[in-house]
Amino acid sequence: MTLERMQEMLKDAIKDGQERPQAMKQTNILNAEYAAGRCMAILDMIESLYGLDAFVSTYEAIRDQMDAFTKRAQAIYTR
């Protein structure tokens, strides 16, 4: 699998994890948690196949979105 394909998979995961105003709060929280997990799994594959430099540069490109997912997902643990 190419690095470009994995980066496309990351874009899909991020798109799927976007907050949906019509969805319940809990659904949006779980979608964020799932999307963050998908992203981390793909990032892990990138590191394994292409090395730490590819991992870091790819993570830096999605850092803001990962932070947003993490912040949204934390709501489930801070009731």
pLDDT at 79 over 70: no
Report, as an integer, the average pLDDT of 7-28: 95
Which residue bears the tokens 């830096």?
A: 60
Distance CA 54, CA 73 (A): 26
19 torsion bin: left (phi>0), alpha (psi -120 to 50), beta (else): beta
Q: Report pLDDT digits (tens) over 27-76.
A: 999 999 999 999 999 999 999 999 999 999 999 999 999 999 999 989 87
pTM score above 0.75: yes
